[in-house]
A and B are shown apart, each in its own frame.
Chain A
Amino acid sequence: MADFSGSAGYVASPELLSSVNIAMALEKPLLVKGEPGTGKTMLAQAVAEALGMELIIWSIKSTTKAQDGLYVYDTVQRLYDSQFGADVSDIGKYIKLGKLGEAFRKERQCVLLIDEIDKADIEFPNDLLWELDRMEFYIPETKQTVKAAVRPLVIITSNAEKELPDAFLRRCIFHYIDFPDAEMMEKIVRVHFDNLDDKLLKQALESFYAVRALRGLQKKPSTSELIDWVQALQIGGISPARIEKEIPFAGVLLKKNEDLDTLTRSKQPNTRHW
């Protein structure tokens, strides 16, 4: 089997690569957790791209049910059709496969991304245990079993909004994407920009980590915010010297008013607090 070794647009740590390959070899879902903005969703895209597989994304919302991923039986359409004398004896026509079903039906191996699984109801992961284990499900309406010809590579992301049930966790390969250090971050940023002034990048990174280290931030800026910020700095033609002094476009890095205030306060070291 082909190994995943990163891609042109995605810089992965050796540990992450090893986790992806372990999950592939053991045919288990890979559960990826990490701070928002550390590239959890991007990972699936990069894996699909690098291995030349199709990517199927199932974005989970708070209202998503496990059944939605398998199939939906469009009874209303069938009833309507029957009104106009159409032949509705083939129930199969009214069964619409969900994302999971779609992935099972693929003839070639594909990557299935179950994005932000923790958004869904707390019981949601438990409802998918059998399907993810056996890679099959049964449609009672048509007495059909949809079974994956090739097991899709399942990547699941979670922002840890809700804790996931143990039974589900036991079946997953777990990887925590640690926040990248400065060296790694430099590589990541460089992947996103063609020609970036070295001085600008160095200064931006330094200030970025300084901002992250500020005490009392409610939402620390993450990789995606850094990339937006570097772009803003580049387009704005900000000179590296100004970056550290005034943190231009701070609103790109920090999204909360309280955090911006914290930053402003930290830039006035002589203010006394009583």
Chain B
Amino acid sequence: MFTDLFYLLRLRGLRVSLQEWQTLLRGLELGLHRSSLTGFYQLARAVLVHTEADFDRFDRVFLEYFQNVQSFDELPPELEDWLNTPIDPVEYDPALLTNQGLDIDEIRRMLEERLREQHERHDGGTHWVGTGGASPFGNNGYYPGGIRVGGQGRNRSALQVAGERHFRDFREDTVLETRQFQMAFRRLRQFSALEDGPKDELQLDDTIRETGNNAGRLKLVFDRPRRNTVKLLMLFDSGGSMWEFTNLCASLFQAVSRESKFKDLQIFYFHNCFYDDLYTKPSCLHADSVSTEWVLSQLGQDYKVIVVGDASMAPYELLRPGGCSDYYTYNKEPGIDWIEKFIHRYDRMIWLNPLPKANWDAGYGSETIRIIKAKVPMYRLTLEGLQEGLRALIAAR
């Protein structure tokens, strides 16, 4: 049942698996769709979609699938056949053709009754479900405000809901990478129990040994819990050329900041290259600046450093004094010297570059990329690149 819909959903990029599909079929078996398209829509969405970001995509597939399908899927196929081949127009007494003041619920109830009683084809007439008739239901009929069954009809409500595409704003065409990034950051762990902190974890093995040594009188041994000792310093390029990678960098940023297990996490921003100042906010305003020297002196050499940036700039920005693109902050030392200072201070430092590797060797920025790459190990900012880079960051030397 609806197997086409399953494949259509997958084709349109919704990750629906057989497991959810079986759940949906079970829901249908239990009648949870309440024999209506709206009910089916709600059931299918609740079971098949797991994030509001996919609601819009689901809505569109639903529309696509059901717009061309006759409504009332629960109708027996024979009934649908008659309804789809209407008889020629018939003349009816106009009195019969006035809306008899039935409201939609009443008509629906009547239709359900009729469907239970009716076992054969009816065309014309005023009572049964059929074509070209004057009863409030059927196809090509004359009753004003009745229910169309079969034919071009569609149950408006569900399609209307789907058609409104209410969840458009939540849609994210970019693949959600945060979780994967986050998993990658798990690699960045060095456990140690030698940190300060209360000794509050019971050491079972030691306790048993000590208790044994103590002639069976209980002696509890506690130790400090093992904690991640990794301290991380992240430097994000928030310059103009990084704009197109905003989403990617945001995912990375979220992944890092949500991984709360670092001993310390420091994040600073810079424009193109780092000079005398770093910034605490991505807007890189003077008010949010801290001196780079201060950062270097405050954050000990046990910090691991990840720089995120495209490393693409005009060569003078990297190599000459005063190369800083901000007119008011003249730098006496060229950017490359500042990078050297970081390399000198921190022996674990990597550079993540969102640019495709093809751009690293040719085109704008390739010259500065080459210079920086020779000094700092550079990885592409993708899941694989990140994993590789983090491995290098944590590896024993």
Contact = CB atoms under 8 A, between A and B. Distances in A.
A174 B42 contact: no
Interface stretch (B126-134, B178-186, B272-280): B178-186
A173 B50 CA distance: 8
A169 B220 CA distance: 42
A175 B46 CA distance: 6
A228 interface: no
Contact of A26 (B30, B39, B186, B202): B30
A62 B26 CA distance: 36
A130 interface: no
B179 A122 contact: yes
Nearest to A174: B50
Contacts of B17: 170
A172 B176 CA distance: 19
Interface in A167-199: 169-176, 178
B161 to A, nearest CB: 9
Contacts of A176: 51-52, 55, 167
B188 to A, nearest CB: 14
Contact of B51 (A21, A79, A171, A174): A174
A153 to B, nearest CB: 15
Interface string A122-141: 10000000000000000000
A257 to B, nearest CB: 15
B19 interface: yes
Interface string B34-64: 0000010011011101111001000000000
A205 to B, nearest CB: 20
A33 B178 CA distance: 18
B239 interface: no
B179 A162 contact: yes
B27 A22 contact: yes
B359 interface: no
B23 A80 contact: no
Given A76-B220, A122-B182, A122-B183, A22 B15 contact: no
Nearest to A166: B15
Contacts of B220: 76, 79
B50 A76 contact: no
A212 B199 CA distance: 47
A26 B42 contact: no
Contact of A18 (B15, B19, B46, B176): B46
A26 B31 CA distance: 11
Contact of A21 (B15, B26, B32, B52): B32
Contact of B23 (A28, A161, A162, A178): A28
Interface in A27-50: 28, 31, 33
Nearest to A177: B52
B217 A83 contact: yes
Interface string A252-269: 000000000000000000
A76 B204 CA distance: 9
Q: Chain B CB within 10 Å — which of A161, A165, A169, A174 has the most?
A: A174
B288 interface: no
A22 B43 CA distance: 7
A224 B53 CA distance: 24
Interface in B1-39: 15, 17, 19-20, 23, 26-27, 30, 32, 39
A206 interface: no
B27 A25 contact: yes
Interface in B226-271: 258, 260
A122 B181 CA distance: 12
A176 B167 CA distance: 10
Nearest to B50: A169
Interface string B196-232: 0000001010010001000001101000000000000
A19 B55 CA distance: 15
A79 B208 CA distance: 10
A15 B55 contact: no
Nearest to B202: A76
A169 B49 CA distance: 9
A169 to B, nearest CB: 4
Given A25-B32, A80-B218, A174-B51, A162 B46 contact: no
B30 A25 contact: yes
Contacts of B46: 18-19, 22-23, 173-175
Contacts of B15: 166
A29 to B, nearest CB: 12
Contacts of A33: 51-52
A23 B17 CA distance: 18
A87 interface: no
Contacts of A18: 39, 42-43, 46
A178 B46 CA distance: 14
A31 B49 CA distance: 11
Given A15-B42, A163-B179, A170 B27 contact: no
Nearest to A62: B260
Contacts of B52: 33, 176
Given A15-B42, A31-B50, A172-B50, 6 more contacts: A25-B32, A75-B202, A82-B218, A163-B176, A170-B17, A173-B47
By Cβ-Cβ distance, the 7 closest A-B pairs, closest first, are: A169-B50, A163-B179, A176-B52, A18-B42, A173-B46, A19-B46, A174-B50
22 contacts: A18-B42, A19-B46, A21-B32, A22-B43, A25-B27, A25-B32, A26-B23, A26-B32, A28-B23, A75-B204, A76-B220, A79-B218, A83-B218, A122-B179, A122-B186, A161-B258, A162-B182, A165-B179, A172-B50, A174-B49, A176-B55, A178-B166
Interface of A: 15, 18-19, 21-23, 25-26, 28, 31, 33, 62, 75-76, 79-80, 82-83, 122, 161-166, 169-176, 178
Interface of B: 15, 17, 19-20, 23, 26-27, 30, 32, 39, 42-43, 45-47, 49-52, 55, 166-167, 176, 178-179, 182-183, 186, 202, 204, 207, 211, 217-218, 220, 258, 260
